[in-house]
Amino acid sequence: MKYSGYPEVGELVVGEVDEIADFGVFVDLDEYEDKRGLSHISEVASGWIKNVRDHVQEGQTVVAKVLDVDEDSQQIDLSIKDVNEHQRKDTIQAWKNQQKADNWMELALGEDVDDDTYTTVANGLLAEYETLYEAFEQAAIHGTDALDDTDLAEDHVDAIVQTARENVSVPFVTVTGYVDLRCPTPDGVDDVKEALQAAEGNGEVPPEVELEVTYVGAPEYRIKVQAPDYKTAEAELEASAARATEAIEAAGGEGEYHRERREDDE
């Protein structure tokens, strides 16, 4: 999706070098419709420049900082040299993510979607999320729940969620903890099994979370949680251990949660 207006002063923009002149470089701005900026030779690189082509080439993708915007004359002044490597990488990544999101929008809505529908859906997502990429990422993780607060039609929500889950690679983190379960009662073995079932969630684990409980060595069991972020993963890990402990204590046993494996079990 390209913006119809102008970039703001201080904004970092991505563009393609369209023309090189003795006095500077013309850059087509990829994120804005029919917008072209100029980076004066003094803003292309630090120090004295003998030949602009020693620093940039036609067709090259560059990141530039917007120095000035004159809408009356349709002039946008840019600086390529004022962008450090960290800024360049982050801006390029955000630009690539936006391109992916634009492609996902076409997949969700169809290549022949009219501009009004596209704009309505895009604005609905952007009302809740900073970027379309973030909206699709959250839809992939949380499903329709991620779009509950939008004003989008149900069919558009379903299409976005389906497209997101088919195309978005969701980042996950993994955390591990351990729980010791002891139960000296006659039905202790069955009680431990029930406690392990409780640890696995009994249907309480959110769909975006993967939780696995495995046997390490009596009385120790490993709980491994995979989730979209550490906060969620840690919360689900502790909740799993708490469910197991509560279940075994209700049966007359003991439960203890710890993050590291016991040394005597190594």
Does residue 1 register a pLDDT over 80?
no
Residue 5 belongs to a domain: no
- CATH number at 20 reads 2.40.50.140
Residues 74 and 17 in one domain: yes
Burial of residue 186 (number of CB atoms within 10 Å: 0-12, 13-18, 19+): exposed
For residue 149, the number of C-alpha atoms closer than 13 Å in the C-beta half-sphere is 8
The pLDDT assigned to 2 comes to: 72
Angle between helices 154-167 and 132-142 (to 10 degrees): 90
Residue 209 belongs to a domain: yes
d(CA 82, CA 13): 12
Does residue 103 register a pLDDT over 60?
yes
d(CA 171, CA 164): 13
The pLDDT assigned to 264 comes to: 54
Q: Write out the residue range of the structural domain in which residue 18 sits.
A: 12-83
Does residue 106 register a pLDDT over 90?
yes
Does residue 209 register a pLDDT over 60?
yes
Residues 179 and 251 in one domain: yes
Over residues 2-13, the pLDDT tens digits come to: 777 899 999 999
Nearest to 131 by CA among 158, 84, 99: 99
Residues 155 and 228 in one domain: no
Does residue 212 register a pLDDT over 90?
yes
Residues 65 and 147 in one domain: no
**Among candidate residues 83, 104, 126, the one where a domain is terminated:** 83
- CATH number at 107 reads 1.10.150.190
Residues 196 and 260 in one domain: yes
Mean pLDDT of 114-131: 93
Residue 7 belongs to a domain: no
Over residues 38-82, the pLDDT tens digits come to: 999 999 999 888 899 999 999 999 999 999 999 999 999 999 999
**Among candidate residues 152, 167, 182, the one where a domain is terminated:** 167
Total structural domains in the chain?
3
d(CA 101, CA 131): 9
Residues 194 and 211 in one domain: yes
d(CA 91, CA 118): 24
Mean pLDDT of 108-136: 92
Does residue 229 register a pLDDT over 90?
no
Residue 1 belongs to a domain: no
The pLDDT assigned to 266 comes to: 44
d(CA 263, CA 54): 61
Residues 211 and 246 in one domain: yes
Alpha helices in the chain (DSSP H): 85-109, 115-126, 132-142, 154-167, 188-199, 230-250
The pLDDT assigned to 111 comes to: 85
Specify the pairing of strand 24-29 against strand 12-21: antiparallel
- CATH number at 216 reads 3.30.70.1130
Contact call for residues 241 and 257 (beta carbons, < 8 A): yes
Residue 27 belongs to a domain: yes
139-143 long-range CB contacts below 8 Å, 24 or more apart?
139/164, 139/165, 139/168, 140/164, 140/165, 140/168, 140/170, 141/170, 141/208, 141/228, 142/207, 142/208, 143/207, 143/208
The pLDDT assigned to 265 comes to: 47
Which two three-digit tokens encode residue 160? 């976005």
Over residues 133-184, the pLDDT tens digits come to: 999 998 988 889 899 999 999 999 999 999 998 998 877 888 999 999 999 8
Residue 243 belongs to a domain: yes
Contact call for residues 188 and 253 (beta carbons, < 8 A): yes
**Among candidate residues 59, 83, 107, the one where a domain is terminated:** 83
Residue 3 belongs to a domain: no
Residues 202 and 141 in one domain: no
For the chain, helix, strand, coil in percent to 5 are 40, 25, 35
Residues 132 and 76 in one domain: no
β-sheet with 173-182: strand ranges across: 210-217, 220-227, 173-182, 254-258
Residue 36 belongs to a domain: yes
Task: Name the average pLDDT for the chain.
Answer: 91
Residues 73 and 98 in one domain: no
